[in-house]
């Protein structure tokens, strides 16, 4: 009996959840902040800065390249699912690897394109916090990307070793 690629099911499910949130935010999210009630207790100047930076960030997340990356990532996930359904695990792995590599491109794009927005904060503390947060989130994204790639490559290597053993018998 052939083993099921449970690792790929889990990774595809997690990636599909992430991509669906990205898709909804990119294509259906608003570029304007209308409710600032959650900023109670902050000065009007700080609230204006937060709103300005957030709205510019939302405009950045709704631009053409970001939409293209989102669509391509969803297409690669769909391709991986189709290959799993067709029981072509090797191509499903390749499609998922392509998805993860596209995720690296997207993360770099978001970092390079989004980092200048942090400098719109006039308050030094807010700027430093925003820059640190951007860097930390980018590192976390890369850690997950590397983890996912290691899992897929390890499983692909094991599958190739199992095939080689089977052929020798």
> For the chain, what are the domain ranges?
6-168
3-state DSSP helix/strand/coil % of the chain, to nearest 5? 85, 0, 15
Taking residues 47-54, report their average pLDDT: 87
Averaged pLDDT for residues 8-24: 93
The answer for residues whose C-beta is within 8 angstroms of residue 151's C-beta and 6 or more apart is 7, 11
Maximum CA pair distance of the chain?
A: 75
Mean pLDDT of 158-167: 84
Q: Percent of the chain having pLDDT more than 70? A: 99
CA separation for the pair 132, 71 (Å, rounded): 29
Contact of 72 with 94, CB cutoff 8 Å = no
Distance CA 126, CA 33 (A): 19
Average pLDDT over residues 13-38: 86
Indicate the pLDDT class of residue 107, thresholds 50, 70 and 90. very high
pLDDT tens, 71-91? 999 999 999 999 999 999 999
Arithmetic mean of pLDDT, 47-75: 92
pLDDT bracket for residue 46 (50, 70, 90)? confident
What is the pTM for the complete model shown? 0.86
pLDDT higher for 16 or 4? 16
pLDDT of residue 1: 39
CA 154, chain centre distance (Å): 21
Tell me what pLDDT residue 2 has: 62
Q: What is the mean pLDDT of the chain?
A: 90
Tally of CB atoms within 10 A around 104: 14
- How distant, in Å, are the alpha carbons of 26, 36, 37, 68 from that of 40? 28, 8, 6, 37
């Amino acid at each position: 009996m052939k083993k099921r690629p449970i690792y790929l099911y889990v990774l595809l499910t997690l990636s599909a959840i992430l991509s669906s949130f990205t898709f909804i935010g990119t294509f259906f999210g608003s570029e304007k902040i209308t409710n600032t009630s959650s900023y109670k207790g902050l000065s009007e100047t700080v609230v204006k800065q937060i709103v300005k930076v957030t709205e510019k960030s939302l405009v950045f997340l709704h631009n053409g390249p970001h939409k293209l990356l989102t669509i391509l990532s969803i297409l690669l996930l769909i391709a991986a699912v189709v290959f799993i359904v067709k029981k072509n695990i090797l191509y499903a792995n390749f499609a998922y690897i392509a998805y993860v590599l596209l995720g690296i491109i997207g993360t770099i794009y978001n970092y390079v394109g989004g980092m200048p927005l942090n400098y719109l904060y006039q308050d030094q503390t807010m700027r430093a916090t925003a820059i640190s947060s951007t860097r930390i989130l980018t590192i976390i994204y890369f850690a997950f990307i590397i983890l996912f790639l290691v899992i897929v490559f390890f499983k692909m290597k094991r599958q190739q070793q199992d095939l080689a053993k089977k052929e020798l018998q």
